[in-house]
């Protein structure tokens, strides 16, 4: 099915939820989000998109590793030397990745096991206790789907969910919010059957709408401050998609010119 | 100066302006935007960020070229054969670029003369009369600065301005809104002196806030429909920057691993 421009609304509001507590392993994120919506006097509505920072997903899943408990392999030690990084951290990066794409002083660009191309497998050393690091969630699509289902059951609203992270890019400085996992909404809009004003086929044929929403929400979350890891985005007429997956946003290796 | 998380607001609203007419060469965009704000009953406020689609900037500047009037060079003819593209279009891509970075069937990735790495030098074949194409603006930073100054003079509000385009990315499918030019706000936030919750230095040190805002606005503009080429973003506490330039967002060649 192709999308038309009806997806583009005239007005959108975004709200960062206040009062999400520091997340511990085993915490129920849907409950924390539901509670925060109540305390923020912001009842969820159908078609809201809830953007959740990966960090709290990872923490709720206990994806925190103590570097002193990691035994680096020979490859990790060698790459650590080449990149001037901690060998234990490099081991975790390798464990979390399908392949190394580039490496340079201080940075290793990999294809994460879930397909994202990113620096250091998305492993975060900030906002963890000293000596610990935070891995990306086990399966962000599954987490997003679970959150969407649970929020529907508990709050009564059919919402989309995006698990997001701040990710660096080729060619441009600075991170932007991008999608790690998605549920309930079509992440990539296909405009290939849409005609422009002069009845020509559109040149831009696919829009990464989930990444645009993740970027928007990221600007409200800020960095490092865990007080605002959840943003409610209201007004997008996102296309429902029961089988949404971040995989739609990941370019296949054969079509990728920058591996 | 380093930014703190005070840049991240709790609430943001975005409005797509209705009623911007089809733009012709020589049209005064500030006047069109001011008129649309009036007819949308949306007076501009200090610290609003106005995101303007490059297409109307290009059209107002007369950056429309008839392919039949372009004489392709030998290089353009050869690259056109290799990529299965129109030789006249390839000539324009080369004219608009500093260098070709990759080429493949149907696509030529270049460094645009203004430094952006993008497909086909951003030349748009949709929404132009048949046989014509639209080049990127002459100097999007200058246009953004002129719009910010003019809107201040005419509307009384000190706004930031971003000239945006929908741009493809390495590794990910679909376009996202990105910044071509910026005025009035700091496009790249430097968080290097910011500590996280555990008093460690932040790992994410730079945030491409202008690109996050451009992505957000792009989701309201839609594609191909020129009725919504201007979005007013309200609520970001963007850092004022009298010398803002998209150049802050462009990774230097020496630090770029994907050339």
Q: Select from A117, A105, A204 the least CA-distant residue to A167.
A: A117
Q: Kindly state the average pLDDT of the residues A90-97.
A: 98
Taking residues A62-71, report their average pLDDT.
95
Q: Which residue of A has its CA nearest to B202?
A: A126
Q: How far is A147 from chain B (nearest CA, A)?
A: 22
Q: Which residue has the higher pLDDT, B88 or B192?
A: B88
As a whole-number percent, the residues of chain A with pLDDT over 70 amount to 90
Could you report the per-residue pLDDT of A102-135, keeping only the tens digit for each?
A: 998 889 999 999 999 999 999 987 655 678 999 9
A172 touching B (Cβ < 8 Å) = yes
CA B114 – CA A258 distance, rounded (Å): 21
Q: Could you read off the pLDDT of B23-50 as tens digits, one per residue? A: 999 999 999 999 999 999 999 999 999 9
How close does chain B come to A41, measured CA to CA in Å?
A: 13
Instruction: Share the mean pLDDT of chain B.
Output: 90
- What's the pLDDT at B234? 97
Q: Is the pLDDT of residue B6 over 70?
A: no
Q: How far is B212 from chain A (nearest CA, A)?
A: 5
DSSP B25-86: TT--HHHHHHHHHHHTT----TT-EEEEEHHHHHHHTT-EEEGGG----HHHHHHHHHHT--
Q: Do domains B5-62+137-252 and B64-134 have the same CATH topology?
A: no
Burial B159-173 (b: 16+ CB within 10 A, else e): bbbbbbbbbbbbbbb
CATH annotation of A5-63+137-252: 3.30.1330.100
* Least confident range of B35-44, B88-97, B157-166, B222-231: B222-231
How many residue pairs bridge chain A and chain B with CB atoms within 8 Å of each other?
264
Rounded distance between C-alpha atoms, residue B116 and residue B247, angstroms? 9
Asked if B200 has any chain A CB less than 8 Å from its own CB, the reply is yes
Element spanning B141, H or E: helix B140-155
CB nearest to A215's CB, from B175, B201, B215: B215
A183 touches B at CB < 8 Å: no
User: How far is residue A240's CA from residue B35's CA, in Å, rounded to a whole number?
Assistant: 36
The CATH number that domain B5-62+137-252 falls under is 3.30.1330.100
How does DSSP classify residue B212? H
A residues 206-245 near B, CB within 8 Å? 206-209, 211-213, 215-216, 218-226, 228, 236
Q: Which two tokens stand for residue B36?
A: 């649309």
Contact status, residue A17 vs residue A29, Cβ threshold 8 Å: no
pLDDT of residue B2: 37
Superfamily classification of domain A64-134: CofE-like domain (3.90.1660.10)
Question: What is the per-residue pLDDT for A3?
Answer: 42
Residue A127 has what pLDDT? 53
Which DSSP string corresponds to chain A? ----GGG--SEEEEEEPP-PPPP-TT--HHHHHHHHHHHTT----TT-EEEEEHHHHHHHTT-EEEGGG----HHHHHHHHHHT--HHHHHHHHHTEEEEEEEETTEEEEEETTS-EEEGGG-B-TTS-TTEEEPPPS-HHHHHHHHHHHHHHHH----EEEEEEEE--SSB-SBEEEEEEEEEE-SSEE-TT-B-TTSPBPS--EE-HHHHHHHHHHHHH-SS-TT--EEEEES--PPEETT--GGGGBPPGGG-S--
Q: pTM of the entire structure?
A: 0.94
CB contact under 8 A, B198 and A250: no
Q: Where are the domains of chain A?
A: 5-63+137-252, 64-134
Spatial separation of the C-alpha atoms in residues B167 and B159, rounded to whole Å: 24
pLDDT score of B218 more than 90: yes
CA distance B194 to B199: 9
Establish how many alpha carbons lie within 13 A of residue A203's alpha carbon, considering only the half-sphere containing its beta carbon.
20
Would you say residue B62 has pLDDT above 80? yes
Q: Where are the beta strands (DSSP E) in chain B?
A: 11-16, 49-53, 64-66, 97-104, 107-112, 117-119, 132-134, 160-167, 176-185, 189-190, 206-207, 230-234, 240-241
Q: Do the chains contact at A226 and B125, CB–CB below 8 Å?
A: no
* Chain-centre distance for alpha carbon B32: 19
User: Closest residue of B to A166, CA-based?
Assistant: B204
In the DSSP assignment, the letter for residue B12 is E
Percent of chain B with pLDDT over 90: 78
Closest-CA residue of A relative to B218 is A212
Give percent of chain B above pLDDT 70. 90
Lowest average pLDDT, out of A11-25, B100-114, B130-144, B195-209, goes to: B195-209
Does residue A2 carry a pLDDT above 50? no
Point out the residue among B202, B207, B228 whose CB comes nearest to the CB of A8.
B228
B13–A contact, CB cutoff 8 A: yes
3-state secondary structure of B1: coil
Q: What are phi and psi of B247, to 5 degrees?
A: -55, -30
* Span of B204-213, B223-232, B243-252 with lowest mean pLDDT: B223-232
| Residues 111-140 in B contacting A (C-alpha not used; CB under 8 Å) | 116-117, 124-130
Lowest-confidence region among A48-62, A167-181, B179-193: B179-193
Asked if B174 and A211 count as a contact pair (C-beta separation under 8 A), the reply is yes
Mean pLDDT of chain A: 90
CA atoms within 13 Å, Cβ hemisphere of A46: 2
Residues in contact with B34: Cβ distance below 8 Å, sequence separation at least 6, in sequence order: B151, B154, B155
For residue B8, give the nearest of A175, A201, A219 by CB distance: A219
Contact assessment for residue A162 and residue A178, using Cβ atoms and an 8 Å cutoff? no
**Chain A: nearest CA to B178, how far in angstroms?**
10
For residue B232 the two structure tokens come to 């007013």
- pLDDT tens digits along B225-237: 556 999 999 998 7
Q: Nearest CA of chain B to the CA of A35: how many Å? A: 17
- The residues in A 146-165 lying below 8 A from B, measured between CB atoms, are none
Query: For A11-27, what is each residue's pLDDT tens digit?
Result: 999 999 999 999 999 99
pLDDT per residue as tens digits for the range A208-237: 999 999 999 999 998 765 569 999 999 987
- Tell me the average pLDDT across B164-183: 96
User: What pLDDT, on a 0 to 100 scale, did the predictor assign at position B148?
Assistant: 97
Whether the predicted interface score ipTM is above 0.95: no
- Of A70, A78, A77, A63, which is closest to residue A27 (Cα–Cα)? A63
């Amino acid at each position: 099915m192709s999308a038309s421009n009806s997806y583009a609304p005239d007005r959108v509001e975004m709200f960062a939820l206040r009062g999400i507590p520091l997340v511990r392993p085993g915490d129920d994120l849907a409950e924390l989000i539901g509670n925060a919506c109540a305390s923020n006097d912001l009842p969820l509505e159908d078609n809201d998109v809830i953007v959740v920072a990966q960090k709290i997903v990872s923490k709720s899943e206990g994806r925190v590793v103590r570097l002193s408990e990691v035994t680096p392999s020979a490859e990790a030690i060698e790459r650590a030397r080449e990149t001037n990084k901690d060998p234990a951290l490099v081991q975790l990066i390798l464990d979390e990745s399908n392949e190394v794409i580039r490496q340079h002083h201080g940075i290793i660009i990999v294809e994460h096991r879930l397909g994202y191309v990113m620096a250091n497998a998305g492993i975060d050393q900030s906002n963890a206790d000293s000596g610990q690091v935070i891995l990306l969630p086990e399966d962000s699509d599954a987490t997003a789907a679970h959150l969407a289902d649970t929020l529907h059951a508990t709050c009564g609203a059919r919402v989309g969910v995006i698990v997001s992270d701040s990710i660096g890019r080729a060619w441009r400085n600075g991170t932007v919010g991008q999608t790690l996992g998605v549920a309930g909404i079509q992440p990539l809009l296909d405009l290939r059957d849409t005609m422009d004003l002069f009845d020509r086929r559109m040149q831009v044929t696919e829009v990464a709408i989930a990444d645009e929403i993740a970027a928007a929400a990221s600007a409200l979350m800020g960095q490092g401050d865990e007080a605002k890891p959840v943003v409610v985005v209201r007004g997008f007429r996102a296309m429902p998609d029961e089988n949404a997956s971040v995989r739609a946003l990941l370019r296949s290796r054969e079509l990728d010119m920058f591996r």
